[in-house]
Amino acid sequence: MTPDKGLFKKKIHIPSIKKALAAFGQFDSNLRRLEKNNKVRIQARGNTATVTGSRSGVEETVRELERLSREGDTGPGESPAAPGEFLRTPTGKPIKPLSPRQKDYVRFMEEKDLTVAIGPAGTGKTFLACAEAVKMLRRREIERVILTRPIVEAGERLGYLPGDLQEKINPYLRPLYDAFYTLMGPERFHKYARDDIIELVPLAYMRGRTLDDAMIILDEAQNTSSGQMQMFLTRIGFNSKAVITGDVTQIDLEQRQVSGLVEIQEILKGLDGVEFVYFNREDVVRHQLVKRIVDAYNKFKKNKASAKK
């Protein structure tokens, strides 16, 4: 709806974020329904909503939002939150940290401007960062999410691969798509991607941008050069948070190149607003076989190193 004349405007402030989420609905589904039914426009930020339209439409909408907010923190038809839960998938699966270090990780992402997560595959580094971004979007603490990865080409140049740019980079960004499909569902994710609320881009395309009101996630950061890492870190704008994830045992750079993820551990150590969290095999939350595989590789590398001495 696009109101033009005879407009009436009213603001409603809901006492808590939890009650606001219940009133607004998952991904603002209740707001969209009320806009359509009552022919109003609703702008929401945090736990405040401004309703614009005819007087009767606005008043009816405000009454409905007040009613929905009184139905409880979990919302009608939802089960109570599980201990430690901070998000639910569209299928109702609770998302929560499963180890002490994962709990620290989630807390750091909420409290710090920059969180750096380092550890092996399967420890939830990328998935929990994406979940935190979805949660922040739902609470309107940010306006968009930017996810980026360095594209390290294994013997191929992007220019020689078939298809347009998006088709060329999709295989590199696939794990990020998978995370958001689980957290939001494919339909909602693709709508947000079309509206540029969520962007998945190669790291090279971040140069020259300054990102305000955003969650910026750099994945596979062990494959950034020193210069790329510095470029990424200077993209952080006002009211934004950044999360960097990577595994320093899986560096695919040329031998003479310094990994930006290795370097920042020394450069940013002790810097105010920055927190590092280090995961290990005890934090692996995938299939139990993944833990055994991680152990097997570690043992193999140690034996190989010992044999060289």
CATH number at 177 reads: 3.40.50.300
154: pLDDT strictly greater than 80: no
Q: How far apart are CA 148 and CA 165, in angstroms?
A: 15
Asked if the structure places residue 164 within a domain, the reply is yes
Residue 156 pLDDT class (50, 70, 90 cuts):
very low
Asked if 20 and 147 sit in the same domain, the reply is: no
The reply to whether 63 and 107 lie within a common domain is no
Q: Is residue 249 scored above 80 in pLDDT?
A: yes
Domain-embedded: residue 293: yes
User: Where is the domain boundary, 24, 44, 70?
Assistant: 70
Same domain, 115 and 153: yes
| Predicted pLDDT of residue 76 | 37
139 and 272 belong to one structural domain: yes
| Co-location of 197 and 296 in the same domain | yes
User: Would residue 66 count as lying in a domain?
Assistant: yes
What pLDDT is recorded for position 274? 96
Task: Give the best-scoring range by mean pLDDT among 79-93, 95-109, 182-196.
Answer: 95-109
Count of domains for the chain: 2
User: Are residues 12 and 109 part of one domain?
Assistant: no
Mean local confidence (pLDDT), 15-32: 79
Per residue in 35-92, pLDDT tens? Answer: 988 899 998 887 888 999 999 899 989 988 888 887 644 443 344 456 677 788 887 7
Same domain, 138 and 182: yes
The verdict on 57 and 113 lying in the same domain is no
How far, in Å, CA of 309 to CA of 307, rounded? 6
Quote the pLDDT of residue 207: 85
Q: Give me the percent of the chain exceeding a pLDDT of 90.
A: 32
- Residues 148, 216: one domain? yes
pLDDT tens, position by position, 129-138? 999 999 988 8
Sorted by sequence, the CB contacts under 8 Å of residue 157 that are 6+ apart come out as none
Q: What is the pLDDT of residues 6-16, one digit of tens each?
A: 789 999 888 77
Quick one: 138 and 245 in the same domain?
yes
Residue 78 lies in a domain: no
Contact 231, 202 (CB under 8 A): no
Name, in order, each residue with C-beta under 8 angstroms of 143's C-beta and a sequence gap of 6 or more.
197, 213, 214
- CATH number of the domain residue 48 falls in: 3.30.1370.10
Higher per-residue pLDDT: 139 or 145? 145
pLDDT grade, residue 185 (50/70/90)?
confident
Task: Give domain status of residue 275, yes or no.
Answer: yes
The one-letter amino acid at 104: D
**Residues 42 and 107 reside in one and the same domain:** no
Contact 142, 213 (CB under 8 A): yes
Residue 77 lies in a domain: no
pLDDT value of position 129: 95
Residue 23 is part of which domain span? 8-70
**Are residues 181 and 215 both part of a single domain?**
yes
